Amino acid sequence: MHCEPGQQRTARAPLCALFGVALAVGAWACTAPAIPDDTLRPLDGYPTRSAKVDAGSQSGPSRGRTQPSDTQEDPPVVPEPAPAVDAGTEPPPVVVDAGTPPPPTNTCGGQTTATACFQCCETNNPGTVNRWNNYFGQCACETPGVCAAQCASSFCGVAAPAPGSACDVCLSNATTCFQQADQRCLGDALCAPLVQCDQAAQCAAKP
């Protein structure tokens, strides 16, 4: 910008003067030495918080952590005592289940006849009479085969003996087989309750 001769200087003179001052300041700024700025140092050049604590009076940022207010070291951290372990309430004693008890053996003692008494024991101990019959049949037909000859075509075969027949009479009098069947049944846990019931109710002694 120039101030030409002949121009009105009343209003423009102050502008020309200010422009000259600005040019002078700019020229001085270009030749003056740079002012050091410590705030432009990279963060990696600053000590960490642990270094600040060790150095005591050293100053500077602490990488975002809170700077200590004095030169004392942090107080030691006292660990909290471990919580007491609750042993809990002792469990109740274990009750051993002995299983379902067998039915009483003398539940058929009130029967008035031997037939009713035997049938009562068979009903109260289902499945046992089949095992007793097998033991009796082994004695009558196999070993010792007390009635094997008389019952070859009936009891020891596939048919029931006719009432009053030789086979029927032999089986009714086969005391040895009755005793043997009772003994073998008592030795069988699945059969024993039947004979125990018969004996407790004294079925054989009834009319």
The CB-based long-range contact list for 171-175 (8 Å cut-off, 24+ gap) reads: 171/140, 171/147, 174/139, 174/140, 174/146, 174/147
Beta strands in the chain (DSSP E): none
Yes or no: say if 47 and 68 are a contact pair by the CB < 8 Å rule.
no
Tens of pLDDT, residues 22-80 = 444 444 444 545 444 443 333 333 233 233 233 333 333 322 233 333 444 555 666 67
Q: Over the chain, what is the mean pLDDT?
A: 70
For the stretch 187-192, contacts whose Cβ atoms lie closer than 8 Å and that sit 24 or more positions apart, written own/partner, are: 188/131, 190/127, 190/128, 190/131, 191/128, 191/131, 191/132, 191/135, 192/128
Q: Can you tell me whether residue 119 is helix, strand or coil?
A: helix
Confidence of residue 85 (pLDDT cuts 50, 70, 90): low
Conformation bin of residue 194: beta by default, left when phi > 0, alpha when psi is -120 to 50: alpha
| For the chain, domain boundaries | 114-205
- Residues 132/116, Cβ–Cβ less than 8 Å: no
What one-letter code names the amino acid at 54? Answer: D
106-164: per-residue pLDDT in tens? 789 999 999 999 999 999 999 999 999 999 999 999 999 999 999 999 999 988 999 99
Helix axes 192-201, 175-186, angle to 10 degrees: 120
Distance CA 189, CA 193 (A): 8
pLDDT in tens, 27-41: 444 454 544 444 333
Backbone Cα Rg of the chain: 60
Confidence (pLDDT) at 3: 47
* Kind and range of the H or E run holding 200: helix 192-201
